[in-house]
Amino acid sequence: MYREKKKAAFHNLGCKVNAYETEAMAQSLRERGYEIMDFKPGADVYIINTCTVTNIADRKSRQMLHKAKKMNPGAVVVAVGCYVQAAGEELLKDEAIDIIIGNNRKSILPDILEEYFASHTEKVNVIEDLSQPCQYEAMNMTTVTDHTRAFIKIQDGCNQFCTYCIIPYSRGRIRSRDIKDIKDEVMVLAEKGYKEIVLMGIHLSSYGKDFKDKDITLKDVVCEMSKIEGIERIRLGSLEQGIITDEFVKAMSGTDKFCPHFHLSLQSGCEGVLKRMNRHYTPSGYMEKCTLIRKYFDNPAITTDVIVGFPGETEQEFNETKKFLESVGFAEMHIFKYSKRKGTAAAAMENQIDDRVKARRSDELIELEKKLKNKYRQSYIGKNKDILFEEKVIINGEEYFVGHTKEYIKVAVSSDADICNKIVCVKIKSLLNAEILLAQLQEIY
């Protein structure tokens, strides 16, 4: 331990897995005596958890690292995560960075800092080769910033190698967290009052496939976590369509705590584009999975991601995608314009699409998304739903408690009683705005 209490500031870029890891790193430093402060001038250590999913993410990562050094030239600047893993030794030449830590080494941040301060080393490089199989890196959380919902990382890495994606190179091969370790973390969070957990990973559907001596899948994790007293809801992060089998969906429907919100990655509704993306399914196969989900759940939320302007995407292929999206009837869609990522197969493909064409296609799908989202939310009007309320907010000058249905639809009610972190039965009355449904209290559990 150091005699003086050092101040550390974090900045997170990228996905919710990154956010989880950032909170876990902050907790580990706090336990070593550090004071965790906002990302502003005055810190002794700045830790930037980087992202590399696009070239823009790379640029933002570099910008934040340089901003940290400018805020305090005498501070130690630590670059961790995906951009570090992808950029490798290029960062050794960057004078703004003192320590570089790749993925699968974030858990030992306190030890790395302790050694750095003790030896006054000029530059520290801690990057593991993730192209080879490796063990899941244990990181645990005992508290999170959200007061009702806790995100739990249970899986890392990806073996898919989609042609547009750098993640298998920056995150490495699939590796899964021990189910007992997951349960221990969830039990601690349940004791602290968290009612909902979100199980997440880089390629969540592959959970357990790397286990050599035990047959454990994502289904088993959900079923095991549902036994924990105090946990009322279990939600899953992004899934691949391959995990949607009759056995899996039937098991989820038999678990009262499971939230029927399926974020089922699509990327394109055109078979030719999917082949060029190296996505191993067809639109018709994907539709079968959606039909299976709706067989076991009444009006589930099926949401997705879509990339427009992938190399070679013709107008006909785009229109196929648009027609397919409407036929599925998604509750929500995230629309992305294809961004060329150095180091991926798609970056070298011919027939790259003009940015103006990408923008126009994106605008068309965003308009469709608004239409589908509104239709799905309208389908709840007049129904009774259980809501886990999370916060009190002001909307159009009025005070409301706001929370979510199991399908992750946002709902607001007026209440004289404090209903934060309570599950309440409400009757949906109308749309309050494009994002939120207005409801009336029925019963508090």
Q: Residue 83: which domain range?
A: 7-126
* 274 assigned to some structural domain: no
The residue written with tokens 């939120």 in the block is 436
Instruction: Output the pLDDT for position 445.
Output: 59
> Residues 290-340: pLDDT tens digits?
999 999 999 999 999 999 999 999 999 999 999 999 999 999 999 999 999
Residue 167 reports pLDDT greater than 60: yes
> Residues 191-211: pLDDT tens digits?
999 999 999 999 999 999 999
| Distance from chain centroid for Cα 97 | 27
* Count of domains for the chain: 4
Average pLDDT score over residue span 100-104: 93
d(CA 84, CA 64): 13
Q: Domain ends where: 102, 126, 150?
A: 126
Comparing 336 with 2, which gets the higher pLDDT? 336
Same domain, 85 and 18: yes
Same domain, 151 and 243: yes
Comparing 134 with 42, which gets the higher pLDDT? 42
Instruction: Output the pLDDT for position 130.
Output: 85
Using only C-alpha atoms, the chain has a radius of gyration, in whole angstroms, of 23
Query: 45: closest CA among 36, 54, 33, 32?
Result: 36
Instruction: Output the pLDDT for position 444.
Output: 65
Same domain, 335 and 399: no
Same domain, 407 and 437: yes
Same domain, 79 and 150: no
Instruction: Please write down the long-range contacts of 440-443, taking CB distance under 8 Å and 24 or more positions apart.
Output: 440/413, 441/413, 441/415, 442/384
> Residues 10-47: pLDDT tens digits?
999 999 999 999 999 999 999 999 999 999 999 999 99
Residue 74 reports pLDDT greater than 50: yes
d(CA 330, CA 347): 29
* 266 assigned to some structural domain: no
Beta strands in 309-422 (DSSP E): 332-337, 384-395, 398-404, 410-413
Average pLDDT score over residue span 177-195: 95
* 273 assigned to some structural domain: no
* 268 assigned to some structural domain: no
Residue 3 reports pLDDT greater than 90: no
Instruction: Output the pLDDT for position 92.
Output: 85
d(CA 317, CA 320): 5
Q: Domain ends where: 344, 378, 412?
A: 378
Instruction: Output the pLDDT for position 131.
Output: 81
Same domain, 226 and 313: no
Same domain, 172 and 71: no
CATH of the domain at 13: 3.40.50.12160
Same domain, 140 and 108: no
CATH of the domain at 171: 3.30.750.210
Give the tokens for residue 20.
């989880």
Same domain, 120 and 98: yes
Q: Domain ends where: 126, 158, 182?
A: 126
Instruction: Output the pLDDT for position 1.
Output: 43
Comparing 90 with 266, which gets the higher pLDDT? 266
Same domain, 159 and 253: yes
Same domain, 135 and 244: yes
Comparing 363 with 142, which gets the higher pLDDT? 363
Q: Residue 2's pLDDT band (boundaries 50, 70, 90)?
A: very low
* 282 assigned to some structural domain: no
Residue 253 reports pLDDT greater than 60: yes
Instruction: Output the pLDDT for position 231.
Output: 97
Average pLDDT score over residue span 40-67: 94
* 119 assigned to some structural domain: yes
> Residues 257-302: pLDDT tens digits?
999 999 999 999 999 999 999 999 999 999 999 999 999 999 999 9
Average pLDDT score over residue span 89-102: 90
> Residues 143-158: pLDDT tens digits?
666 668 999 999 999 9
Q: Residue 123's pLDDT band (boundaries 50, 70, 90)?
A: confident
**Number of neighbouring beta carbons within 10 Å of residue 121:** 12
Average pLDDT score over residue span 90-116: 92
Tell me the DSSP string of 329-347.
T-SEEEEEE----TTSGGG
Average pLDDT of the chain is 94
Same domain, 70 and 16: yes
Beta strands in 112-260 (DSSP E): 124-126, 149-156, 175-176, 196-201, 233-236
